[in-house]
Amino acid sequence: MKKLAMGIDIGGTNTAFGLVDEDGTVFCESVISTEKYKRFDDYEAYVKALCEAMHALIDSVSFEFNLIGIGIGAPNANYHTGMIETPANLWKFRDDEANPDETRRMFHFVDDIKTYFPGVDVAITNDANAAAIGEGVFGNAKGMKDYVVITLGTGLGSGIVSNGEMIYGHDGFAGEYGHIAVDSRTEGRECGCGRKGCLEAYASATGIKRTAFELMAKMNCESDLRDTPFSKFEAVMLSVAADKGDALAKEAFRFTGEFLGKALADLVATTSPEAIILFGGLAKAGKWIFEPTKWYMEENMLATFKNKVKLLPSGIEGKNAAILGSSALIWQSAIR
Amino acid sequence: MKKLAMGIDIGGTNTAFGLVDEDGTVFCESVISTEKYKRFDDYEAYVKALCEAMHALIDSVSFEFNLIGIGIGAPNANYHTGMIETPANLWKFRDDEANPDETRRMFHFVDDIKTYFPGVDVAITNDANAAAIGEGVFGNAKGMKDYVVITLGTGLGSGIVSNGEMIYGHDGFAGEYGHIAVDSRTEGRECGCGRKGCLEAYASATGIKRTAFELMAKMNCESDLRDTPFSKFEAVMLSVAADKGDALAKEAFRFTGEFLGKALADLVATTSPEAIILFGGLAKAGKWIFEPTKWYMEENMLATFKNKVKLLPSGIEGKNAAILGSSALIWQSAIR
């Protein structure tokens, strides 16, 4: 009988899920709103709605198959414990402001899903790790034992694989490479984590947007980008502008590539991967982000590692990438 | 029959070796000069002298035992290939200056040792990795699956263990944490690797010595340290001075701890270890180096990891530590 794994991608706005076979074909997929359930006391209703929608999707499949497991990618998810810890945007407390300590909250997500799918293997990991496993099982890291996936979205996430295994670390939260210090000047950019000068404040979709506005102040060149206010500005505007020759946009990519490339040179010295894959929205800017990143990475690399490490685009990216990545959490052990 | 493993530690001056049992007891040990064989065409004579000395040591043991393997720790050693690559201080070419490219040279060390010990398991790794494996098998990381050992000697080396396995990386040279960039100002300190601002130019025995001389220029306080020229200065003088209340020495430790602690906070975000062990000469300064390092590590840590990671001294350090570490390369697989 055909075997399929369910992949779930939990985002702040929507939760997407789909059934994936061992070749990475997504047979069917669906989506529910996450946002609708964002208050803490909506959590149980969210789990119920998600599981009912998955059962409906399973019932809609016209052939018989064996559901070999459910893989989940979610922010702040812990592979070791099966829990989602301190979600920043999900299931907020009614009394967040009254009880700030209470915002550190654990959700037994894997166990809760299992109550709706008895006997089915369920695993969870954070979204960057899911992307990394997806690249290893279906994408550009297929066959590699040592590689890194960097997700360049709203923030910067990383999934580091060594000796063929994801580095989760002792507490399950390793791979927070977006929060290494790259700019410890007192005026380093404020990061969402409450500190200053973290890599993701520079190298991410949000980071390059911040850079663009710093450059509007610093440079005098004309640029259409100056017509959009910060609150309406999106990182994708920069690659559109760079394609048209906009000097400010090109400098924004060079600056971003400098921070990212130097940080990747350090990561190479630490873990010596065969390849680094850039994944996510900002990576879609193609040569604009890859070329300066590669240049600064090589320029700052310890001699031993120079010209050894591939810098690659995603091999699974598209609308299904996150579902594929989450399902790969199941497939990685099934295929072995 | 009793089982013993040979551990070999190759240093620039001497090569020490000894027979170690599974409890970490060193039954006997000996040493030959490395320095005497430092020209490239001395390499074969060095291997012969080392193996003859090891056979003599084995013959000197009064009871019968089974030699289960030979573990070697050496600078620039590659676990994957069994080779020592580009040794900086060993087996130099006669014509180094005439043929600078020729200095990148591979020595098939494991294979060459095997010709003198047919049928015996031989493995090699770099000295920091050997220290890390030693801590895992015999020392303060016993039972841990995710930990880091930082060696603070002439340079800064690191051995990173994740999921119970050493991270060697794709090319076998991972763990060069001494060469991450911590000071990318154009006036960053020159590093032995040819670049500027590497961590080991600040956090190592050599690094703190450089800091002491920077502070002699910066500070006005009286200090006995001002009586010793740079060429005669040793890092150990700083802990002796700090014990006597020397303000310059104490500031040198604070400054070093700041660089090291910040770098360790970043390493925690990357690999999330259960513990970080400080090993080697500078670590013997005890509270003078541990206290500021711990303070800056916690101060710069991402909230998720705060107060979770132990900062520990070596559990094997002493004159035999390097032999123990190298022998652990054999014991780690034998014990499993």
Residues of B in contact with A174 (CB under 8 A): 146, 162, 270-272
- At A110 the pLDDT is 96
Ramachandran sector of residue B324 (left: φ over 0; alpha: ψ -120 to 50; beta: rest): alpha
**B14-20 and B26-33 as β-strands: parallel, antiparallel, unpaired?**
antiparallel
Residue in A165, A179, A271 closest to B269 by CB? A179
Q: Say which residues have a Cβ less than 8 Å from residue A25's Cβ, sequence separation at least 6.
A: none
pLDDT at B336: 44
Nearest-Cα distance to chain A for B209, in Å, is 23
Interchain pair B305, A273: CB under 8 A: no
Model ipTM value = 0.90
Q: Looking at B153-290, which runs of residues are DSSP E strands? A: 156-162, 165-166, 275-279
Amino acid identity, position B236: V
Task: Note whether A136 and A331 are within 8 A (CB).
Answer: no
C-alpha to C-alpha distances, B88 to A312, B11, B97, B193, B234, nearest whole angstrom: 33, 11, 14, 10, 22
Q: Is B303 exposed, middle or buried (0-12, 13-18, 19+ CB in 10 A)?
A: exposed
DSSP β-ladder status, B310-313 and B275-279: parallel
CB contact under 8 A, B270 and A160: yes
What whole-number distance in Å separates Cα of residue A239 and Cα of residue A231? 18
Residue (of B335, B336, B332) closest to B7 by Cα position: B332
- pLDDT attached to residue B187: 72
B86 pLDDT tier (thresholds 50, 70, 90)? low
Q: pLDDT tens digit string along B296-331?
A: 999 999 999 999 999 999 999 877 889 999 999 999
Q: For a pLDDT cut of 70, what percent of chain A falls above it?
A: 92
Given this model, what pLDDT does residue A94 score? 38
Q: For residues B10-30, b (16+ Cβ closer than 10 Å) or e, as one string? A: bbeeebbbbbbbbebebbebe
Tell me the average pLDDT across B207-213: 97
Query: Rounded CA gap, A304 and B75, in Å?
Result: 13
Q: Burial code of A76-114, b = ≥16 C-beta within 10 A, e = fewer?
A: bbbbebbbbbebeebbbeeeeeeeeeeeebebebbebbb
Show which residues on chain A lie within 8 Å of chain B, measured between beta carbons.
86, 144-147, 158, 160, 162-163, 165, 167-177, 179-181, 184, 193-195, 262, 265-267, 269-274, 300, 302-305, 308-309
Give the rounded percent of residues in chain A with a pLDDT score beyond 90: 80
A77-78 and A83-85 strand pairing: antiparallel
Is A9 in contact with A71 (CB distance < 8 Å)? no
Among A86, A129, A171, the strongest candidate for a mutation testing the B interface, having the largest count of B CBs within 10 A, is: A171
Distance of CA A226 to the CA centre of its chain: 29
Residue among B67, B161, B72, B47 nearest B123 (CA) = B72
Is A269–B176 a contact, with Cβ atoms under 8 angstroms apart?
yes
Mean pLDDT over A41-67 rounds to 94
Beta bridge partners of B156: B152
Chain B residue with the nearest C-alpha to that of A169: B272
DSSP-assigned letter for residue A50 = H
pLDDT digits (tens, 9 = 90+) for B135-190: 999 999 999 999 999 999 989 999 999 999 999 999 999 999 999 999 766 679 99
Q: Which of A173, A184, A270, A307 to mutate to test the interface with B (most CBs of B within 10 A)?
A: A270
| Residue-level pLDDT at B90 | 62
Within 13 Å of residue A310, how many CA atoms lie on the same side as its CB? Answer: 13
Query: Cβ A300–B181 below 8 Å, yes or no?
Result: yes
Q: What is the pLDDT of residue B91?
A: 60
pLDDT band at A336 (very low <50, low <70, confident <90, very high): very low
Residue B114 pLDDT class (50, 70, 90 cuts): very high
Taking a C-beta distance cutoff of 8 angstroms, is the pair B73, B8 a contact? yes
Q: How far apart are CA A160 and CA A176, in angstroms?
A: 10
- Tell me, letter by letter, the H, E, C secondary structure of A95-123: CCCCCHHHHCCEECHHHHHHCCCCCCCEE
Nearest Cα residue in chain B from A173:
B272
d(CA A80, CA A85): 12
Closest approach of A100 to chain B, Cα-based (Å)? 14
- In this prediction, residues A237-249 reach a mean pLDDT of 98
Question: Which of B169, B195, B266 lies closest to A271 in CB terms?
Answer: B169
Residues of chain A with C-beta less than 8 angstroms from the C-beta of B271: 160, 167, 169, 174, 270
Name the minimum distance, in Å, from the CA of B302 to any CA of chain A. Answer: 7
Identify which of A173, A194, A271 has the shortest CB distance to residue B174: A271
pLDDT value at residue B95: 43
CB neighbours of A269 closer than 8 A, spacing ≥ 6? A301, A302, A305, B176, B177, B179, B180
Out of A3-17, A85-99, A202-216, which region has the weakest mean confidence (pLDDT)?
A: A85-99
Asked if residues B107 and B84 have their Cβ atoms less than 8 Å apart, the reply is: yes
How far B118 CA sits from the closest chain A CA (Å)?
A: 29
CB contact under 8 A, B308 and A270: no
Which pLDDT does position A87 carry in this prediction?
A: 58
Query: pTM score, two decimals?
Result: 0.92
Q: Who among A160, A165, A170 is closest to B273 (CB)?
A: A170
Alpha carbon distances (Å) from A282 to A129, A151, A200, A313, B246:
18, 9, 12, 11, 52
- Provide the 8-state DSSP code for B185: S
Look at residue B99 and tell me whether its pLDDT is greater than 60. no
Query: For the segment B220-265, what is each residue's pLDDT rounded down to a tens digit?
Result: 999 999 999 999 999 999 999 999 999 999 999 999 999 999 999 9
Q: What is the largest CA-CA distance in chain A?
A: 65
Strand stretches in chain A, DSSP E: 2-10, 14-20, 26-33, 65-73, 77-78, 83-85, 106-107, 122-125, 147-152, 156-162, 165-166, 275-279, 310-313
Mean pLDDT on B22-47? 89
Report pLDDT for A86: 65
- Give yes or no for residue A265 having a pLDDT over 60: yes
Q: By CB neighbour count within 10 A (0-12 exposed, 13-18 middle, 19+ buried), where does A326 fall?
A: buried
* Measured distance CA(A160)–CA(A165) in Å, rounded: 8
The 3-state DSSP class for residue B18 equals: strand
Residue B53 parent element (H or E): helix B43-60
